[in-house]
Structure 1
Amino acid sequence: MSKTEYGVEQMESYSGQPDYSGKHETSEITSEELRNDNELSTGQGEGLQRNLQARHLTMISLGGTIGTGLFLASGASIGTAGPGYSLVAYGLIGTMVYCFMSSLGEMTTYLPITGSINAYGTRFVDPAFGFMLGWVYWFSWSITLAAELVAAGLIISYWIPEEQCPAWVWAVVFIVVLTSLNLTTVKAYGETEYWLSLIKVLAVAIFIIVGFLYIGGAVGAGFIEEDGSVAPKPGSAVFNMGPFHGGFAGLASIFLNAGFSFQGAELVGIAAGETKNPRKNVPRAIRQVFWRILLFYILTITIIGLCIPYNDPTLSDGTIASSPFTRVFVRAGIKVGGDIMNAVILVAILSAGNSGLYASSRALHTLSKEGSAPKFFGYVNRWGVPVWCVLATSLVGCLAFIVSLPQIGKGQVYEWLLSLSSTTGFIAWVGIAINHIRFRMAYKAQGRNIQDLPFISHLYPFGPIYTILICAVILLGQGYTAFSPFSVKAFLSAYITLPFVVLLYFGNKFWCKTKILKLVDVDLDTGRSFIDTSMHVSDTGSETEKKNTKWWKKIIHIFA
């Protein structure tokens, strides 16, 4: 493939919209052009469609981050390093998430295109950089989809033993359901994700309320443990048993876990190209997602640290019965806590799989539009769904699930695939930061005024630099346990992703003879709609509608 095929001359609209750059020398626009713009802006016509609302966008991002990392791994983090270090780790990672989401917000508001992470890499940095980001991101979520299928079978076995129904049967059911959802309109996908994520958010909110009641002594006083002993009274005494346990090694290990728990927040950028009025809804969704995620994680860890001692052996078991959520519910007198949390985690798995299939299919679609994947992946049906991208991602997820079965090499191939995909989320975050730096540099080099941006990241340049540094520490430090004593298997498991990424970038760069784009040649206009950038598009949540909204809907809106 030639260099010009990757160049800005070959670029087409990523969101199904025509190129308006230089099209209108004056402000005179015909009614026919305006009508066409409105059709494209609302998702009518060919290509991906803008049918996601602000609430959908918020929940898509929430759905990718609130999952087993919060419901199960949070307890393991406290058991490893204590509640104090856990708050430090999750707080630092949370600030980093805010930095890269602010960067993403500035770019997606200015240029709302689908598959933005790899599309921006191609347009702002180097076509080979976008190629690498796109395939890494697609691979990551495809393997994550397989992991969700494995987890779904385990969750169902909590109620129906595998002797009665094998776990693979439930995996087949779930992949059929998820694929069907993603083959419908993007609006149907967004609505499904909204309600799935809302269930998780409400579960966390209920946990926070129950936790405060338990800490205050309103419920669960004098709870008796299984060994017959009285549970310690929740509060500062429990928290201070070992707030900073394990020293630097403990902090480093949960620092990595905290980073993995936040992965998925970038989904708001992937969906920007299919969102109504992205100029208004993308910044709103980014602000809401960050504060809600940080609030939920910080409050959750604080409550667990006040209720369950760090040395409770069940915190690190990783099972439903030992989930810190389950244990707090049970101690508060809610004996069906295990069933409740099992159901919530099942919803979390469906939500994460739903979001993962959506994100990876859009990344593959963008790669096709850029000429970095077969052309047939660029096909979009009349409902705006990249059908072949969805089916291909589902197929890869199924193949990865098959190699996870104990009958096939005892699942060892799957373990390597999972290790290969585990760090790709951090690579995507680094890509966002690098894209933002290049975007700002090109914007300035082309003589444009920063104040003209519809949304300005006031953290620049600190935000993207901070993101790169934190992600570098995580990527390079994740395998520190492999060195004492040195373990080849642990070393490869931790670092095999890095040479894979380097091979993708330099392999494509050598094969296609790409070059890092000159700042003055960076395309900052293709794909920007006149409606999105020059006119105000009415939002569905007008002030009049907000005043007439019923009280129970207002309560839900606090969380969603």
Structure 2
Amino acid sequence: MSKVILASQLSKNQQASLAPGLKQRHVTMLSIAGVIGAGLFVGSGHAIAAAGPAAIIAYFLAGSLVVLVMRMLGEMAVASPDTGSFSTYADRAIGRWAGFTIGWLYWWFWVLVIPLEAIAAAAILNAWFPTIDTWVFALAVTFLLTVTNLFSVARYGEFEFWFSLLKVIAIIAFIALGAVALVGGLPDRDVSGLASLMESHSGFMPNGYATVIGALLTTMFSFMGTEIVTIAAAESKDPAKQITRATNSVIWRIALFYLVSIFIVISIVPWNDPQLVQVGSYQRALELLNIPHAKLIVDIVVLVAVASCLNSAIYTSSRMIFSLAKRGDAPARLKRTNESHVPRAAVLASTAVGFLTTIANYFAPAHVFAFLLASSGAVALLVYLVIAVAQLRMRKILQASGAPIEFRMWLYPWLTWAVIVFIIAALAVMLMMPQHRYEVLSTALLAIFTVCVGLLNGRKRKGDQAAADAPAGA
């Protein structure tokens, strides 16, 4: 009888556990380029068109913020690797309501990334095969990547490894080509260079400081997803080592893939080039360098990038809701895993919402999808804010426990407080800017609603616990 009970308990534990299926190369490549999406290849053109060459300042400041946030997150993740990542740490350091709120907001953010990336991929495929409607492509791409996430985490890791490798090769090739062009190494290409472009196009900051702040808010969201590696590392064999390595490498990753590549763009393309926003920064740079088939090349790279981000969105949203379920903050069935230790119910639940929002984009009134997108507009900053506050308090908890802190935030607590002040200031600036006010208010409304649900959920859990602890017949 005891053997039967023990076997039953083991079965239940297996049904709610993840397996270390990600290899070191998977986590390494995911940390290097897993979240580089269309925002860099295409969206950077909007930031440059608004702020001019000074857009690189916005990328530098946003990148610095991400480096500091990742350092704080790394300190907590190395001490306690968990697939719930910052949501779990907020739960422990701030309160259950905080872990509940930021976990669900983060899940909502990535669920909405699914239709965004699917729509971007569908637009490219529709241009190649115009007889097939874009909505068919969007649903087909989402379905394909959902299937890959249902088999095993290793399958996700393998897809993401090759997606990320192709992105790395593309960016390095672009940087190398641009560098050769800037030193005059390409025949019959007249590249002016940054100094000449600034002299002939109103200088380094042609539109003033305000536009740089606006570009900062835009670029900040292109870095969202860097923290995914702390979620994925929990499914690797040595999570603490993988998180340390990924966090330490974030500086050179941002410097190379964002700052250097943006420098190449602003050195080749005039900031007021009318084609910059229409075709994207990378494509316009290649066109000015007279590279054959520039549009096709960039379309292929962007298709890979959006497929990669879509793949990561499905993975990340499913793992976050799985973690919420394990803590009792989501339906219990979502914490079940199959024989391959994949939370299939969590994957299907996340992609189901993704499918519905994709359909809403094509068939519902435009303002419905616009509101859904706006509701996640400031989630990135809220996530960073929660990470900073959680680390501020988690350090004290770790010190009180006497546990060694193997990976530390720099200049604690001063840099942590600096990040908190910076994020609050950024949210305040967004609230004052008409083009960002709706995003902040929509996200705030959603956050307030989620906090209320979290508080009610906490009360219910306490009531259930009290009822369970009460003596029989009381």
For the residues of structure 2 that align with 1:453 and 1:493, how far apart are their CA atoms? 38
Which runs of 5 or more residues in structure 2 are unaligned? 1-8, 462-474
* Map 1:495-506 → 2, pairs under 5 A: 495-506=441-452
Partner SS, residue 355 of structure 1: helix
Residue in structure 2 matched with residue 268 of structure 1 by the alignment? 229
Alpha-carbon deviation of 1:104?
A: 1.1
Q: Which amino acid aligns with 2:50?
A: T
Query: 1:72 and 1:381 mapped to 2: Cα distance?
Result: 39
Question: Pick from 356, 359, 369: which aligns with 1:399?
Answer: 356
Counterpart of 1:24? Answer: none
- CA separation of 1:503 and 1:314: change in aligned 2, threshold 3 A: same
- Show the counterpart of 1:438: 393
How has the CA–CA distance of structure 1 residues 342 and 220 changed in structure 2, closer, same or farther, with 3 Å as cutoff?
A: farther
Amino acid at match of 2:49: G
Deviation of 1:195 after TM superposition, in Å, equals 0.8
1:133 partner letter? I
SS in 2 for 1:454: coil
What is aligned with 2:467? none
Aligned residue identity for 1:512: G
**Residue 463 (structure 1) aligns with:** 415
Q: Summarize deviations over 1:208-247 as a string: whole Å, max 9, x none.
A: 0111111112215356xxxxxxxx6334201443311211
Mapped partners of 1:46, 1:512: distance in 2: 22
Alignment of 1:386-535 (within 5 A): 386-405=343-362, 407-409=363-365, 411-446=366-401, 448=402, 452-482=404-434, 491-513=437-459
Equivalent pair of 2:398/2:405 in contact (CA under 8 Å): no
Q: 1:256 aligns with which of 204, 217, 230?
A: 217
Give runs of aligned pairs for residues 83-102 of structure 1, distance below 5 A: 83=53, 85-102=54-71
User: In the alignment, which residue of structure 2 is the partner of 1:217?
Assistant: 184
Contact 2:376-2:443 at 8 Å conserved across structures: yes
Match of 1:352 in 2: 309
State the distance in 1 between where 2:440 and 2:329 align.
28
Q: 1:417 to 1:62 in 2, by over 3 A?
A: farther
AA aligned to 2:266 is: G
Look up the equivalent residue of 2:397 and give its one-letter code.
A
Once the two structures are TM-superposed, the CA of residue 62 in structure 1 deviates from its matched residue by 4.1
CA deviation after TM superposition for structure 1 residue 100, in Å: 0.9
- Alignment partners' CA distance in 2, 1:373 and 1:45: 16
Deviates most, 124-133 or 61-70: 61-70
CA RMSD of aligned residues (A): 2.3
Cα deviation digits, residues 333-370 of structure 1 (max 9, x gap):
32111101000000011000111111110100011011
CA distance in 2 between counterparts of 1:236 and 1:64 reads 33
Provide the residue aligned with 1:27 in structure 2. Answer: none
| 1:442-465 CA distance string (max 9 Å, x none) | 12234x16xx22222234223332
Cα offset for 1:435?
1.4
Query: What does residue 374 of structure 1 align with?
Result: 331
Distance 2:29 2:422 in 1: 26
Number of aligned residue pairs: give it.
Answer: 449
User: What is the alpha-carbon distance in structure 1 between the residues aligned to residue 101 and residue 378 of structure 2?
Assistant: 14
Question: Which aligned pairs between 1:234-383 and structure 2 lie closer than 5 A?
Answer: 234-240=193-199, 241=201, 242-317=203-278, 322-383=279-340
Confirm whether residue 73 of structure 1 aligns to residue 46 of structure 2: no
Deviations along 1:458-489, one digit per CA (max 9) or x if unpaired, are 34223332332232233232243329xxxxxx
Q: Distance in 1 between matches of 2:333 and 2:126?
A: 39
Partners of 2:460 and 2:28 in 1: how far apart? Answer: 36
2:184 is paired with a residue of what secondary structure? Answer: coil
> 1:206 is matched with which residue?
173
Pick one of 154, 157, 165 that aligns with 2:126: 157
Structure in which a larger fraction of residues adopt helix: 2
- Alpha-carbon distance in 1 for matches of 2:411, 2:144: 41
Match of residue 55 from structure 1:
25
1:134 maps onto 2:103 in alignment:
yes
Aligned to 1:193: 160
Q: Is the 1:239–1:305 Cα contact (8 Å) retained in structure 2?
A: no
In structure 1, stretches of 5+ residues that fail to align are 1-17, 19-35, 37-42, 224-231, 484-489, 516-560
2:378–2:439 CA contact under 8 A, matched in 1: no
SS at match of 2:446: helix
Distance 1:350 1:116 in 2: 24
- Cα gap change, 1:192/1:511 in structure 2, threshold over 3 Å: closer, same or farther? closer
- Contact kept in structure 2, 1:214 and 1:221, CA below 8 Å: no
Closer/same/farther in 2, CA of residues 435 and 154 from structure 1, 3 Å limit: same
Return the alpha-carbon distance in structure 2 between the equivalents of residues 290 and 146 of structure 1: 30
TM-score (structure 2 length as normaliser): 0.89
Given that residues 14 and 337 in structure 2 are in contact (C-alpha distance below 8 angstroms), is that contact kept between their aligned partners in structure 1?
no
What do residues 151-185 of structure 1 show as CA deviations (whole Å, max 9, x unaligned)?
Answer: 11111123222xx1100111121111110111121
CA distance in 1, matches of 2:250, 2:14: 28
**What is the letter of the counterpart of residue 111 of structure 2?**
S
